Amino acid sequence: MAHLAVADGVEIAACTPHILPGVYHNTGPQIIAATNVLRRALADAGIRLELISGADAHMTPAFVSKLDAGEILTLGQSRYVLIELPRHVAPIRMEPFFFDILDAAYVPILTHPERLIWIEDRYAAIKRLASSGVWMQITSGSLIGKFGRRARYWAERMLAEGIVHILASDAHDAIRRPPDLSRGWEAAARWVGHCQATHLVSTRPRGVIKNVAPSNLPLPSDSIASSFSRRA
């Protein structure tokens, strides 16, 4: 996967395994240790890929306390944290959950909302979260059709409406879900142009790593929303 990522033009990769008690038994210290092992292995192999630690943390009680304690990792020890919601059932207290995280001075990044089964019913809430400071991260595979027409539709719609902050590979292996960020960039550029597509894969992600405040990073563009509505 590291070879493939480098060949795809990736310079920095975030190691973000799931954290969900009872299902994915990962903790912050374990992830940091594993990242260090992999970092040394890449150096020994001469693979020029920088790594940072993080997690794709599922919605759980006492989330902020776990962030403060380092049980749940932010991305590269920044204020930004990846959060995954239940795929099949919309959580009841979704908006208060995210507002609690924002109130604690973290920036939650909701991962692959376009692939949520219930997005149609709660899309207005998704947009409210985005307007309140929650970042949205879609998957490159969604834009290129790897997750079906439905995920592609919502990924394109969110791009068109200017509520997508980051485009990620969400790579899991070297065969079925390999690093494919360049193809995602190309697909995004057809919707929002080269400059905005580069913000999705480079400008904002680098800002995350450097812990830059969201207010000091470029906002997503919604300039093509009307053309999407006509197309839909």
- Which domain does 106 fall in, by range? 55-231
Is the pLDDT at 222 greater than 90? The verdict is no
Which structure tokens are listed for 220?
A: 């997503």
Contact 120, 113 (CB under 8 A): no
CA distance 208 to 16: 14
- Please, how many CA atoms are within 13 Å of residue 25, restricted to the half-sphere of its CB? 1
| pLDDT for residue 225 is more than 60 | no
Number of domains in the chain: 1
The Cα 4–Cα 116 span in angstroms is 27
Q: Is residue 163 part of a domain?
A: yes
The answer to whether residue 26 is domain-embedded is no
The residue ranges of DSSP E strands in the chain, in sequence order, are 12-15, 18-19, 50-53, 56-58, 80-84, 107-111, 135-139, 166-168
Bridge partner list, 24: 20
How many CA atoms lie less than 13 Å away from 184 in the CB half-sphere?
A: 31
CA dist., res. 205 & res. 78, Å (int):
11
Per-residue confidence band for 21, with pLDDT thresholds at 50, 70 and 90:
confident
Instruction: Please indicate, yes or no, if residue 167 is contained in any of the structural domains.
Output: yes
In a domain, 75, yes or no: yes
Separation CA 10–CA 116 (nearest Å): 27
Chain segment 95-104, per-residue pLDDT in tens:
999 999 999 9
Predicted local confidence at residue 232, as pLDDT: 42
CATH number of the structural domain spanning residue 137:
3.20.20.140
| pTM of structure | 0.93
Measured CA to CA, the distance from residue 201 to residue 25 in angstroms comes to 29
> Within a domain: residue 116?
yes
Determine, yes or no, domain membership for 27. no
Domain assignment present for residue 23? The answer is no
Cα distance between residue 56 and residue 133, in whole Å: 18
The pLDDT score that the predictor gives to residue 184 is 96
CB neighbours of residue 196 within 10 Å:
21
User: Residue 24: what pLDDT?
Assistant: 82
Residue 5 lies in a domain: no
Contacts of 170 (CB under 8 A, 6+ apart): 111, 112, 139, 140, 141, 177
